[in-house]
Amino acid sequence: MKELKDRILKHGTALNETVLKVDTFLNHQVDAKLMYEMGSYFKEYFKNHGITRIMTIESSGIAPTAMTALQMGLPMVTLKKQKSKILNGDVYQTTVHSFTKVMDYELTLSKNYINKDDRVLIIDDFLAHGEAALGAIRLVEEAGATVAGIGIVIEKSFQAGRSKLDEMGYDVYSLARVSKLGKDLIEFLD
Ligand code: 5GP
């Protein structure tokens, strides 16, 4: 997505060789028009995947996912990050490790918002080591539903997430694929 890559080059900051900061349009201030355009790219790619429900992870995945759900006319569910396990049978939960925040959290999905015949599109803001996406996949599959695709706004292709998901056979579509980060340096794969 050219507009996104241009924006990353203009406003993105590589904090170091692994972390990209995009607070001006995605993670803090949100450019709703750009989010809407992301929605049309995801819709175009996933339109024939038989998607019935779109899922994301709070909080930065919400804006692009809401715009995609709006454009595809589908229900959207936000997976919650909780500090501790909920000890009742009403939710699916799985532990996810965040390398950026150096912490674990419980990714949580209410049983009310998934059915076993759902074909789910998972969307997130970043793909790095794949921990968040793999956690979301575990919840969808524990519910007996199918992961029909994974949409990523910014993939850091030099980290392991993309190849893990490819090896597992998931259909991953990223709007921007960053191949290298460094001081004053942001490069794309394609
Ligand atoms: P993963 O689980 O794939 O290791 O990391 C994905 C999650 O970590 C994303 O949901 C995102 O919130 C956060 N994340 C990973 N890398 C970055 C990054 O370079 N910049 C920002 N802003 N968030 C990141």
Cβ burial of 133 (10 Å; 0-12, 13-18, 19+) is buried
Average pLDDT over residues 122-147: 98
Residue 184 pLDDT class (50, 70, 90 cuts): confident
Is the CB of residue 125 below 6 angstroms from any atom belonging to ligand 1?
A: yes
> Model confidence over 71-118: pLDDT tens digits?
999 999 999 999 888 888 899 999 999 988 889 999 999 999 999 999
Mean pLDDT of all residues belonging to the chain:
96
In b/e form, how buried is each residue of 163-188, taking b as 16+ CB within 10 angstroms? ebbeeeebebbbbbbbeebeeeebee
Measured CA to CA, the distance from residue 187 to residue 15 in angstroms comes to 14
**Are 166 and 173 contacting, i.e. CB atoms less than 8 angstroms apart?**
no
50: left (phi over 0), alpha (psi -120 to 50) or beta: left
Atom of ligand 1 nearest to the CA of 20: 19
65: left (phi over 0), alpha (psi -120 to 50) or beta: alpha
Per-residue confidence (pLDDT) for residue 88, from 0 to 100: 83
Q: Which of 16, 20, 79, 100 to mutate to test the pocket of ligand 1 (most atoms within 8 A of CB)?
A: 100
Average pLDDT over residues 182-188: 94
Distance 128 CA to ligand 1 centre (A): 6
Is the CB of residue 129 below 6 angstroms from any atom belonging to ligand 1?
A: yes
Q: Look at residues 72, 93, 78, 160 and name the one whose alpha carbon lies nearest to residue 124.
A: 78
Atom of ligand 1 nearest to the CA of 161: 3
Q: What percent of the chain has pLDDT over 70?
A: 100
Instruction: Say yes or no to pLDDT of 51 above 90.
Output: yes
- Which residues, including other chains, have CB under 8 Å from residue 110's CB and lie 6 or more apart? 90, 91
